[in-house]
Each structure stands twice: as C-alpha cells, then as structure tokens.
Structure 1
C-alpha cells in the first residue's frame, strides 16, 4: 500500500510539473492506477475511479493517461485482439504472457531470455535500446481431457 501511495504521488508530481491541474478526479484515477495489479483498460480504470469519485469522466481518464504516457510514466499495451491496457512504467523490465482464452496477462522476468536477446543483437552488430516480448498462449490440453 505504501508503494502504491508513493507511485501515485510520483505520478501527481510529474503531471503538476507538466502543467496539468490536479483535480479530485485525477487524484482518484492516480490512486486506482497505482493500486492496479493487473493491466486495466481505460474503461476499467474509469469504472474503478468512479467508485472513489462518482464525477469521474472517461475523457479525464484518457487525457490523464495520454499525459502520463507522453512522459514515459505509463506504458500502453496493445495486446492482440484487445483494447489498449495500461500499467505504470516499472523500473524493472518484464515481459508478458497473454492467455488468449481467458485474457489473463501474466508478467514474468527471465534472465536467460534477456541474455539471449543481447547475444542475438550483438551477433548482428546492434545494441538493444528497447524491446517488448509478448507470448500469446492457451492452456495446454491434458491427456485424456
């Protein structure tokens, strides 16, 4: 909970520094965003924020997310076949496994995959600046099931 509070404050400070007015609605949205452990889309964020502040508008959600994304504080993920989903930019890089049947998104880290990507880029004479790995999967069928 303390981590979420710190993240919400950091986002608020960044918006303020960018000249964005911090309203009750934005404070509610930043709280929801900071506490989200999943990858909500704008409608989900709007719905959750309305539980805190019933005056929350979807336009405020979109404008705030756009400002945070422009500053690199929020990542927009356009996973195949789904609306854009958002997460706070985490200092620790991670990749995503997407369950195409349930829509569940699982974050994972793999030192082996990171090392292999570096080796491949190096082999071709490149340095990785940024990357995303998204694995689209379905649960394995069990024998006899």
Structure 2
C-alpha cells in the first residue's frame, strides 16, 4: 500500500467521507505547499458542495493525527505538506512565492559540525532560504 495521505488516513482509522477523500487526494497530488484557501479552491472545483469550514476541520484533524505538517514561510500563511517525509529544506522565491524543496549533504554536514563545535548533538532542524531568481542575462 503506497504511503499516501489517503492511505495514512485509513490506517489512522479516520472515517473517509467523500469530501475528506477529495482533500486528501488533492494534498497527495500537490507539488506545492498549499494553504487552506488554496486547498478550498482546488477542492470546491471538484466538489461544489465543499465548504471552507470542512477544509479547515479536515486540515486540523490531519495535523492533529500527525498526517499533515504545518509549515510557515514568513508570509503569514500556514501551508501544509505530508508529515513524516524525508528531511528536506526549502528555498522560497520572494517574487513568485514558489517553494523549492532540496537536500544538500554539504549543508547537512556543516550544520552537524556547527552544533558539535558549540557542544551540541543536533536532533533536528528546519531551514528556509529566501531569494530572488538571478537574471539569466548576467
């Protein structure tokens, strides 16, 4: 059974209404980090009876069950991604809002080294980089 949000809901014993299935499927297929309003727009396009309150309740339930993780990138909007994914960092384009996920072994090693130098064993971290796209003409 693939590790999808929909399957994790079922494994957690959540009752999967038609609207919850729509929301879970949208989250599974999202290549970005949608906020509740974006989820609502996508879900209501598939199910015109979808309410914003249903999306809020579903996201809250999925977050409480450890299925979704809330991520905040300083723009005042709580965004969501599947919880428990392999570690990754984020680069946020400040002009477009595009979020790029990446992993860099050199950065990971440097963070471990810095923690050790300061007398710590790193148990986790979160990193968001903010940047502007370089002009291709330079």
TM-score surpassing 0.5?
A: yes
TM bracket (short chain):
0.7 to 0.9
Partner of 2:29: 35
- Root-mean-square deviation over aligned CA pairs: 2.1
In structure 1, the partner of 2:97 is 103
Give the deviation of 1:70 after TM superposition: 2.1
Aligned pair count? 138
In the TM superposition, residue 63 of structure 1 has moved relative to its aligned partner by 1.5
- Asked if structure 1 preserves the Cα contact closer than 8 Å seen for 2:5 and 2:67, the reply is no
1:114 aligns with 2:113: no
TM superposition score normalised by structure 2? 0.87
Provide the C-alpha distance between the structure 2 equivalents of 1:15 and 1:25, rounded to a whole number of angstroms.
Answer: 17
2:122 counterpart of 1:128? yes
Deviating runs (4+, > 3 A) in structure 1? 141-144
Q: How many angstroms apart in 2 are the aligned matches of 1:71 and 1:131?
A: 21
Residues 1:7 and 1:142: Cα distance change in structure 2 (over 3 Å) = closer
Is the Cα contact below 8 Å between 1:15 and 1:68 reproduced in 2?
Answer: no
Unmatched 5+ stretches in structure 1: none
Q: What is the CA distance between 1:72 and its match in structure 2?
A: 2.5
Runs of 5+ unmatched residues, structure 2: none
SS in 2 for 1:96: strand
Higher helix share: 1
CA contact (8 A) 1:11 1:68 kept: no
Question: Which residue does 1:80 correspond to in 2?
Answer: 74
